[in-house]
Amino acid sequence: METYRTPDDRFAGLADLPAGTTWEPSYADVTDPDGGMLRMAYVDVRPDGWREDATTVLMLHGEPTWSYLYRHVAAEVAATGVRCVVPDLIGFGRSDKPVSSRDHSYQRHVDWTRELVLDRLGLGGPGAGELTLLGQDWGGLIGLRLVAEHPDRFSRVVAANTGLPTGDVDMPEVWWQFRAAVEKAEVLDVGRLVASGCARGLDAGVRAAYDAPFPTEESKAGPRAMPSLVPTRPHDPSTEANRAAWAGLGEWRAPFLTAFGDSDPITGAMAPVLQRHVPGAAGREHPTLERAGHFLQEDDGAELGRIVAAFVRTVTP
């Protein structure tokens, strides 16, 4: 597997970091299908006095962003004494980037993330504290699979502008337009894609931070591949695994919260579906963030952080 590793200097001087935040990475190796190793990055935000058996929130990003997306969310959550672990998916951020789209598959991304989170970091395992998932976009497509397949490792879930498609229901037209734009672009403008998913706009410095991981076209194989990996037909390679995950989520009675933006035409319809299907979502007030688009972490990351922190602090598994 041929890979690209973004030079560290591309991440110097990141804009709009919360006060006292450095967004410095840690790294662990995960296994590629050929038995080699890929370096996977994550930011580990540990509050003062953190202990190994304390609560952790796992924050998973999606397409075409990276862990930087969660900087304001993590600042709010960590301020309440909760650890935040924020990975970069393989192909994104500071993680290694397979340069062929054929090296990306839905199952591989689930497996890579599982290896990092559950095996290398041991989150939610013996001696570790409670683990809460916060997943948005592909962070939910991957994270909800992990929750359904390893329910004993997770104590809570916050689903934010995400879903778990099986291909049994067609994707919205705006998503098909997005997929076509990614497939046809001779030069993929990642910062522009992120800006188009924000209801409140995105300034130049933040757009540059989303461009930073991808200085060459070959480095963008991950963002180019991900739309084509979403199950869109009933016989998609990932359909059966996602149907099984839906069945698992239908038995999930631990706390489950949806926190969606009010201006996301791609995933907005999924909030009530998740609320009806997951037993742990019943009887809760599920917040909707105002003037928040698909990337609600950019539009109102601090508010999303406060919602997650309150959910972790006040809702007992």
Where in the sequence numbering do the catalytic residues fall? 137, 264, 294
Helix (H) or strand (E) holding 183: helix 173-184
Phi-psi region at 88: left, alpha or beta (left = phi > 0; alpha = psi -120 to 50): beta
Distance CA(184)–CA(290), nearest Å, equals: 32
Find out whether the peptide bond into 64 is cis, omega within 30 degrees of 0: yes
Q: Which residues have C-beta within 8 Å of that of residue 197, sequence separation ≥ 6?
A: 264, 266, 293, 294, 295
Of 88, 94, 138, 107, which Cα lies nearest the Cα of 33? 107
Of 101, 298, 90, which Cα lies nearest the Cα of 194? 298
Of 245, 257, 208, 214, which Cα lies nearest the Cα of 107? 245
The CB density around residue 8, as the number of other CB atoms within 10 Å, is 9
- Assigned token pair, 90: 């393989």
83 DSSP β-pair partners: 56
Tokens 């933040």 map to which residue?
206
The backbone torsions φ and ψ at residue 50, rounded to the nearest 5 degrees and listed phi first, read -60, 140
Of 196, 205, 243, which Cα lies nearest the Cα of 64? 196
Tokens 């291909």 map to which residue?
167
